[in-house]
Chains A and B, each alone.
Chain A
Amino acid sequence: MAKAKTKEEKICKYCQICVRACEKVTGYKLIEVVSKGEPKKFGPAANHREFCIGCGACAAVCPTEYIEIVDRDGKRYIEVFNIDFDLALCKECGKPITTTKHIEHLKKKINLPDYIFELCDECKRKFYMERIAVLGHM
């Protein structure tokens, strides 16, 4: 396991990997380096902010863990960008699945029944295990 980074190590190095990841997911360059020495700001213009779906890809690819996502009390916070989202909770166990905006984005992309978006991964697995147990084989 990698050692936990200290606060001094969690700085932006302007590598712009997050920009490329964001472009892949949303199709927009929502993250922009405003100027060196200053913290990054969201969007080429403020009116692009609403396209952020809060999937957390930028945080996952960030090599220095400068971008961090925090899920707390039914909300997802990305402090660096000063933005927050409502989380969708699992119908069975109440665990946060992902943000509601993320689910809307996926619903536009792919046509699937609603219950798939209402359960977390563990509950979905359990749901299918029960079905397989009834069938006996799969």
Chain B
Amino acid sequence: MRGTIHVDVLRCVKCKRCVIACATEYSKSNTLLEAFEKAQNGDEIKPRITIGLIGELGVPIQCRHCENPQCVAVCPTGALKRLGKEGPVVVTQKLCIGCKHCQVVCHFGVPQFTESGKVYKCDLCIERLDKDFLPACVEACPTGALEFVIYEDKLRKVKVTTTIDRVTT
């Protein structure tokens, strides 16, 4: 199974619930209130998804979990690696030495660094997927702009939508 997050820009209403859900999921306590309190005390609570504004459109962007990840190819310590053959690209923060190779070679500028110099990025909520939950951002999205799809289904969907676009325009 190879899942990925499908982004539908026209459905995004820029509510940033995905950003809040993501930051909460990756905080130690996993509850919004405690994460908020800790953030006020200066703890590092970082969301792995960002919403950029392009004109009036909001575009959510997170790690694409590429088929040939350059970040994994250049990582000197193996802190970034692909889980299994078709799994997501995950981070082992203990192994990261903060050389920033991954940030320089990433096409999407996804890997970010904490103040202590460790990399963090989206890992498709691998712990949640193991328990058969959807990734936190997908679950929080109220409009369905973010959708968790299996790779083959996504390809079919892209094919269908682009064909419809071509027929209708």
Chain A residues with a Cβ under 8 A of chain B:
1-2, 21, 24-25, 55-57, 59-61, 97-98, 102-103, 106, 109-110, 112, 116-117, 119-126, 128-130, 132-133, 135-138
Chain B contacts to A: CB under 8 angstroms: 6-10, 42-44, 50, 52, 54-55, 57, 59, 61, 64, 70, 73-74, 76-77, 97-101, 103-113, 115-118, 158, 161
Does A136 lie within 8 Å of B108, measured CB to CB?
A: no
The residue on B at minimum CB distance from A62 is: B117
The closest CB in chain A to the CB of B70 belongs to A110
Instruction: Please measure, in the bound complex, the distance between the C-alpha atom of A24 and the C-alpha atom of B95, giving whole angstroms.
Output: 11
Kindly list chain B residues whose C-beta atoms are within 8 Å of the C-beta of A1: 42-44, 115
Contact present for B74 and A109 (CB under 8 Å): yes
From A59, A102, A122, contact of B104 by CB (8 A): A102
- Which residues in A have their C-beta under 8 angstroms from that of B9? 132-133, 135-138
Give the docked Cα–Cα distance between A51 and B12 (Å).
47
Task: Report whether B99 and A57 are in contact in the complex, using a CB–CB cutoff of 8 Å.
Answer: yes
Q: In whole Å, how far is B42's beta carbon from the nearest beta carbon of chain A? A: 4
CA distance A111 to B7 in the complex (A): 28
